[in-house]
């Protein structure tokens, strides 16, 4: 077992006290990722929605008005005494960049001219003890706390809501960025909650290890955020969801500390890790996570497939996963999404126009990859698939983190673009897809903005799969209200059709209206009872998760 204190040094602006690669204030990702819409896309927009595709002018963040900080000088001094004067910020830029997440409504609100809601200060604690002390101070002083990792929430999970309190702070965990324990015999590591996905992989690679957790938010999201939202990565078919990887959690709550998880499995009552994995900062703050890891894969193989229709493709994926032959990555786009992707890229790797495109990758030793690839190929072929070679799968992997940049360019061009996701049993998959598609289509059409609704399967299980929808429509005069109506219709359709209100985006504020449908009145009482025990003053992330 190795005990180390390797800290992150990757920064975007090294001269700033807490600099690291962070996202632009009013869009996803880095400035270098944002480019004008290609002529091909602009032509599609003109044909489908009657818009030119010209981008709107973006504001400078210094021109965005923020509500004045509500913290008193005494409170500022008290908070600063916990973390040090250099680790509390009321700076306009810091407050604005902690004012929410990166959903389409978040970004549309950033474009408004009225004063923006923002945390009253941003705190940068150094370790678990400082987090604990901050929560104790805020509980006694009546200050709400919003934990902040990479800022990638797309469900309102980072809204600086004050609840019944006069002030709210953002508690940024970026300084909790170390790998503190490596156990290569057991295949576990302990990581600080503030480590980003890329930095965690860099530190693990020094030990020949990998986590293999690659959600679309990978480049900016953090270890603590993955745990707090029950994240699911694109390689979940091979490595499982993030909560499957969790061995131990260290948590700071207003009522004290918790260290949960003693063994790979236990019968010592209900597993309390489950209460905090997915708690979204409403019960406490995850400061360190011990995770199952694996050796860096020896090789990766790629294979794409075409299916005549979505039903055939979904059945083929089910056959593979239920046979225990799942690739590391296994995804299936429906006809609409396949058509748009082919139109964007031309002819990707010889894929035929029409039908549905599936992508598979296989990681591991050369022998394991060869055996698993052969078994999966036989099953997919027997289920109606046509092998397309590796190029479409490689191209998907090359661009797998780029979709949010296209979303932002569409928003700037007057196009509404947003996503939502759910999951259900295989036997209910077609019904759920049809009901959600109809709800979105009907709602947006009724508002005078007919939509293109696309869908793919991104995560598979022996008993069911997730459905990930992408919606594109011309923006109405009030696009926030436009999407709110469509989202509400989709949420109701998901519940009525027997799906979960969220598979991996989490609950936040946006899905909270359906939580009672999800877990029942008694389930809500259980969550409230736990919150009362660990957060008696109710300061933790008000307005999220718990109805």
- Kindly list the catalytic residues: 468
What per-residue string of b and e applies to 198-210 under the rule 16 or more CB within 10 Å gives b?
A: ebbbbbbeebebb
Spatial contact of 92 and 66, defined as CB atoms under 8 Å apart: yes
Q: Hey, is 119 helix, strand or coil?
A: coil
Task: Provide the 8-state DSSP code for 60.
Answer: P
Q: Hey, is 209 helix, strand or coil?
A: strand
CA 439 from chain centre, in angstroms, equals: 24
Spatial contact of 301 and 361, defined as CB atoms under 8 Å apart: yes
Among positive and negative, which fits the CA dihedral 473, 399, 465, 315?
positive
Closest CA to 410 of 121, 154, 28: 28
β-pair partners for 3: 181
Q: What is the C-alpha to C-alpha distance for residues 474 and 286, in angstroms, rounded to an integer? A: 40
Distant-in-sequence, close-in-space partners of 161: CB < 8 Å, separation ≥ 6: 144, 146, 168, 509, 541, 542, 543, 544
Q: Residue 511 burial by CB count (10 A; 0-12/13-18/19+): exposed, middle or buried?
A: buried
Spatial contact of 189 and 162, defined as CB atoms under 8 Å apart: no
> How many residues does this entry show for the chain?
547
Q: Give the chain's radius of gyration (CA, Å).
A: 23
Among all chains, which residue has been given the structure tokens 């698993």?
372
Q: How does strand 356-364 pair with strand 299-307? A: antiparallel
Q: What is the C-alpha to C-alpha distance for residues 201 and 88, in angstroms, rounded to an integer? A: 29
For residue 345, the surrounding DSSP H or E stretch is helix 335-345
Closest CA to 212 of 327, 303, 318, 102: 327
Q: What is the C-alpha to C-alpha distance for residues 492 and 486, in angstroms, rounded to an integer? A: 10
Residue 289, CA distances (Å) to 1, 139, 296, 503 in order: 16, 24, 20, 21
Residue 16 CB neighbours (<10 A): 12
Spatial contact of 124 and 174, defined as CB atoms under 8 Å apart: yes
């Amino acid at each position: 077992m190795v005990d180390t204190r390797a800290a992150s040094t990757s920064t975007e602006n090294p001269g700033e006290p807490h600099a690291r690669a962070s996202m632009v204030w009013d869009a996803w990702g880095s400035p270098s990722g944002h480019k004008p819409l290609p002529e091909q896309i602009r032509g599609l927009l003109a044909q489908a929605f009657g818009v030119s595709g010209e981008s709107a002018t973006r504001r400078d963040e210094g021109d965005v008005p923020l509500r004045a900080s509500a913290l008193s000088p005494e409170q500022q001094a008290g908070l600063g005494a916990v973390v040090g004067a250099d680790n509390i910020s009321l700076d306009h830029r810091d407050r604005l960049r902690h004012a929410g997440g990166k959903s389409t409504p978040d970004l549309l609100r950033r474009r408004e001219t009225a004063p923006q809601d923002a945390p009253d200060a941003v705190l940068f604690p150094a370790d678990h003890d400082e987090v604990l002390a901050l929560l104790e101070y805020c509980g006694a002083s009546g200050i709400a706390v919003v934990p902040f990792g990479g800022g990638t929430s797309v469900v309102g999970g980072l809204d600086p809501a004050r609840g019944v309190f006069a002030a709210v702070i953002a508690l940024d965990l970026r300084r909790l960025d170390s790998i503190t324990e490596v156990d290569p015999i057991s295949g576990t590591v302990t990581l600080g909650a503030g480590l980003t996905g890329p930095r965690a992989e860099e530190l693990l690679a020094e030990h020949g290890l990998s986590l293999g957790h690659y959600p679309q938010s990978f480049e900016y999201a953090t270890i603590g955020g993955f745990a707090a939202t029950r994240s699911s990565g694109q390689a979940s078919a091979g490595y499982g969801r993030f909560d499957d990887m969790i061995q131990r959690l260290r948590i700071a709550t207003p009522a004290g500390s918790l260290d949960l998880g003693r063994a790979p499995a236990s019968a010592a009552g209900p597993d309390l890790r489950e209460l905090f994995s997915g708690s979204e900062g409403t019960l406490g703050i995850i400061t360190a996570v011990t995770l199952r890891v694996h050796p860096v894969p020896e090789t990766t193989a790629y294979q794409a497939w075409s299916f005549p229709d979505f039903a055939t493709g979904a059945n083929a994926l089910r056959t593979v996963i239920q046979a225990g032959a799942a690739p590391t990555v296994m995804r299936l786009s429906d006809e609409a999404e396949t058509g748009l992707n082919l139109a964007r890229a031309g002819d990707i790797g010889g894929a035929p126009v029409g039908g549905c495109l599936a992508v598979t990758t296989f990681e591991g030793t050369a022998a394991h990859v060869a055996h698993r690839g052969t078994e999966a190929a036989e099953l997919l072929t027997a289920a109606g698939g046509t092998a397309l070679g590796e190029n479409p799968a490689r191209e998907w992997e090359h661009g797998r983190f780029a979709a949010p940049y296209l979303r932002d360019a569409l928003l700037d061009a007057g196009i509404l673009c947003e996503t939502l996701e759910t999951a259900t049993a295989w036997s209910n998959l077609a019904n759920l897809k049809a009901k959600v598609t109809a709800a979105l289509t009907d709602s947006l059409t009724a508002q005078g903005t007919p939509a293109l609704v696309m869908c793919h399967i991104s995560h598979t299980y022996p008993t069911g799969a997730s459905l990930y929808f992408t919606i594109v429509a011309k923006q109405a005069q009030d696009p926030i209200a436009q999407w709110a109506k469509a989202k509400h219709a989709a949420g109701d359709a998901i519940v009525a059709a027997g799906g979960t209100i969220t598979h991996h985006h989490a609950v936040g504020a946006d899905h909270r209206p359906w939580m009672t449908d999800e877990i029942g009145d008694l389930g809500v009482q259980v969550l409230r009872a736990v919150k009362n025990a660990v957060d008696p003053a109710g300061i933790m992330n008000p307005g999220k998760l718990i109805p």
